[in-house]
Structure 1
């Protein structure tokens, strides 16, 4: 397994980002221009090519970053290798299905799963030649901090929502799988230093057990880790806790 580090939070370079595993490859790039989508498109294009090469070689790369938006690059890479969209198992305390039209905060990191499902392809998907993932091939795991527009969208969509304890092989959609973990899926009281902690979630060990069940299908094509915590001592503690619980 090749471990790829993308030390960014959206277009903010975070060279001090603590991650659970020593990377084999670190991807950085000068990000120019005034448009945030254009700024990250070149970076994500490089990540997509790295992911595609690993998948073609028969390995499942692990991509670590400071946000979840890098998932656009990882899914694009899997698509380039397989010729079609993978299914998605998305661990996250948040829905990540906001839009520019519905978000109250304007935070772009609340939109990546909605974008993977086909929202506003001109923002990133078209630049990455990324086809939308059908909603019925997406599973959202332990999404519990949802704004009203997200609840409305999910209720009307074909995205399946499950708790970590409910996730077994039968709940994993067909075909190659992109396994995404925003590590704030872990109960906020158990993981220090999270940027957006949410109470009432599973323990790190429970997440690790569920991840093992997904890996046990033998269909995971790529893995994304959203290391969504602060730098410094809290980040180091969180990375160590995750490393002890996850099977990578």
Structure 2
């Protein structure tokens, strides 16, 4: 991983109904991410936050998607910033914001790779489209949009599509999948480790298999980590909590193994909602995981 890290915040809560996740980047910064990374030995550049504003909340009459225009505009701005970070040769670290921001992150990153891999560390698949979404919330669509599936406005952010291929994706921690997502996973042959597999195999084997799988087929790997992958006991401050999730040590081990592999070339941490949190517990957890991912060691 590059020794220069550029942080960019995407304070957006327009991809879903529950407000407050727009304060996620502030909570993560307050938990000390810049100092933490500097202590590890990185040169850290904090670019601040992209401007989201407070647009009127609307449902798009054509697609039924919530806040489509605002989400598209924000992701275009994020894609431009991430593109600039990549152009400068820095490691992009994006702070969310709801998971719809992954559309912009991947639009800015994937043009620099021929075979970008993605680790989607999440309780959800985020593989819905206009046709399959039960809610119309765009934070449930970023992985599908990055595959070139869904509303044209989302798919074409960055000016090209698709950003990634289904065979280069690994989803880890899934335990809440909609019917349309299950069907798409089977159709596309997407590799998924649900909580069943993780309980059965253990995190060390899951990560060993993930690393081996992606190492042989990709030229870079993006980590998209939704804090709701962890059980609400450890991460109470998330927009869409699902019981029965990953533990603190399991997740730190996963990040440590990714650090050892040297695979990760960009990352984002999303869905921290301080309004629902307990004394910034989830923001602090996010910083702990970032430290592990980026090479922090006990000895």
- With the length of structure 2 as denominator, give the TM-score of the two structures: 0.73
Compute the displacement of 1:230 (Å): 4.3
Question: Unaligned stretches of 5+ in structure 1?
Answer: none
Distance of 2:192 and 2:280 partners within structure 1: 31
Is 1:45 matched up with 2:58?
Answer: no
Q: 1:14 to 1:131 in 2, by over 3 A?
A: same
Question: In the alignment, what sits opposite 1:99?
Answer: 129
- Which residue of structure 1 lines up, in the alignment, with residue 281 of structure 2? 237
Which runs of 5 or more residues in structure 2 are unaligned?
Answer: 35-45, 61-66, 295-299
**Structure 1 match to 2:271:** 227
Are positions 1:246 and 2:276 aligned together?
Answer: no
Alignment match of 2:158 (pick from 128, 135, 145): 128
Corresponding position of 2:48 = 25
**CA radius of gyration, larger in:** 2
User: Which residue does the alignment assign to 1:154?
Assistant: 185
Contact 2:113 2:220 in 1 (8 A): no
Q: Go from structure 1 to structure 2 and tell me whether the alpha carbon gap of 1:13 and 1:50 turns closer, same or farther (over 3 Å shift).
A: farther
1:194 pairs with 2:238: yes
In angstroms, what is the RMSD of aligned CA positions? 2.5
With 92-101 and 192-201 compared, the bigger mean Cα shift is at 192-201
CA contact 2:128–2:181 (8 Å) conserved in 1: yes
**Cα distance in structure 2, aligned partners of 1:14 and 1:64:** 11
Shift of the alpha carbon at 1:136? 0.3
Is the alpha carbon distance of 1:190 and 1:72 closer, same or farther for their aligned partners in structure 2, counting shifts above 3 Å?
same
Contact 1:31 1:40 (8 Å CA) reproduced: no
Please report how far the alpha carbon of residue 235 of structure 1 lies from its aligned counterpart in structure 2 after TM superposition: 6.5
Distance 2:173 2:270 in 1: 15
The alpha-carbon deviation at position 194 of structure 1 amounts to 2.4
Match of 2:117 in 1: 87
Summarize the alignment of residues 107-118 of structure 1 with structure 2, pairs less than 5 Å apart: 107-118=137-148
CA distance in 2, matches of 1:160, 1:100: 23
